[in-house]
Amino acid sequence: MYLYLPVALTSINILIPIGLGLAVGLLSGLFGVGGGFLMTPLLIMFGIPATVAAATDSNQIVAASTSGTYAHWKVGNVDFKMGLLLLAGGLVGGLVGVQGIKVLQAMGNADFVIKITYVLMLGIVGTYMFIESIASMRKKKVEEVKQEKESGFTRFLKTLPLQTHFEKSGVTHSMLLPLIFGGFVGILAAIMGVGGGFLMVPVMVYILRMPMHVVVGTSLFQILFNCIEVTFLQAYTNHSVDFILAVLLLLGSTFGAQIGTVFGRKLKGEQLKVFLAIIVLVVTVKIVFDLTLTPSQLLGQAGGH
């Protein structure tokens, strides 16, 4: 059955957005990522204009992350204190990032810098997560040595002011730490035009040393607020949110997020990290192919990266 989308100005088989929503919602509930890095290119592939695809994806992530945050909150996997600090840092970082794009555009070659940063970030994060989680699954010794190695860094973190205990995560950090790293992710996410879940999750796991299951719930919590802001701004300034497409996507993604949460609970932290690392690496390879293979069209719609 086909439905006409009033803002995208195209007709789509409803099974496509519902199916895509289900798959990406599943990843969202499992790994605490918004899934924009998968959903937006897929929607474009199915004929949705780039600007509408990105804006509408934000709208459906609001639903999927609400559903996922709620499911994780029920089992005590959302650290609201940490989430709010990361969010505050992320909002400031986002504003800085938008200025950063202007500077890059003024320098010329903005697209080149953005694409290279994106590929490098995805590649480094994916590779590091993959190697680290495989190693920690195989040898406990490696983890112990690593912890010893990182104790110097940890000692430095302990010297920072405004130390506070994050009960849900079971860690003690300076309040500046989530603010600074949240800001850093916010800057990169704004420059790359993505939600930043795939960067926030590794920051929480490796720098803030939070347990993986709390990471997923807390990441979804801060993604929810980011996407509320983005959806509203996109609807207000660019008129590019397609409500009907968002409803079709969220029909799938809200259920997907719940199913993902249930699956996630059955997997160990290391297993979740390995799967996320694989997905991030697959996306990296796909982007590298897109960048190096001759495109079928040498002209494309304006808007979006």
Q: What would the two tokens of residue 204 be? A: 């929480």
Cβ-count burial of 127 within 10 angstroms (0-12 exposed, 13-18 middle, 19+ buried)?
A: middle
The one among 45, 131, 233, 278 contacting another protein by CB under 8 A: 233
Q: Is 218 in the site for another protein (CB under 8 A)?
A: no
Q: Is 84 in the site for another protein (CB under 8 A)?
A: no
What φ, ψ does residue 10 adopt, rounded to 5°? -150, 165
User: What number of CA atoms fall less than 13 Å from residue 189's CA on the CB side?
Assistant: 30
User: For residue 135, how far is the Cα from the chain centroid?
Assistant: 24
Quick note: the x/- pattern for another protein over 132-171, rule CB under 8 A, is: ----------------------------------------
Kindly state the smallest distance separating residue 277's Cβ from another protein, in Å.
24
Q: Tell the residue number behind the tokens 């950090």, with chain if given.
A: 173
Binding window for another protein (CB under 8 A); candidates: 79-87, 135-143, 247-255, 270-278: 247-255
CB atoms within 10 A of CB 200: 28
The one among 155, 156, 161, 299 contacting another protein by CB under 8 A: 299
What φ, ψ does residue 165 adopt, rounded to 5°? -95, 130
Would you say 59 or 136 has its CB closer to another protein? 59
| Cα–Cα dist 165/130, whole Å | 29
79: Cβ–Cβ under 8 A, 6 or more apart, which residues? 166, 167, 168, 169, 210, 214, 217, 218
The one among 40, 65, 218, 219 contacting another protein by CB under 8 A: 65
The one among 112, 139, 145, 268 contacting another protein by CB under 8 A: 112
| Cα–Cα dist 234/240, whole Å | 6
165: three-class secondary structure by DSSP: strand
The one among 81, 209, 265, 286 contacting another protein by CB under 8 A: 265
| Cα–Cα dist 6/150, whole Å | 54
Binding window for another protein (CB under 8 A); candidates: 124-132, 153-161, 203-211, 237-245: 237-245
Binding window for another protein (CB under 8 A); candidates: 4-12, 35-43, 83-91, 163-171: 4-12
Would you say 55 or 215 has its CB closer to another protein? 55
- Give which of 226, 213, 279, 200 is closest to 71, Cα–Cα: 213
Contact residues for another protein, defined by CB under 8 A? 2-4, 6-7, 9-11, 47, 59-60, 62-71, 74, 109, 111-112, 115, 228, 231-237, 239, 241-244, 246-247, 250-251, 254-255, 257-258, 261-262, 265, 290-295, 297-302
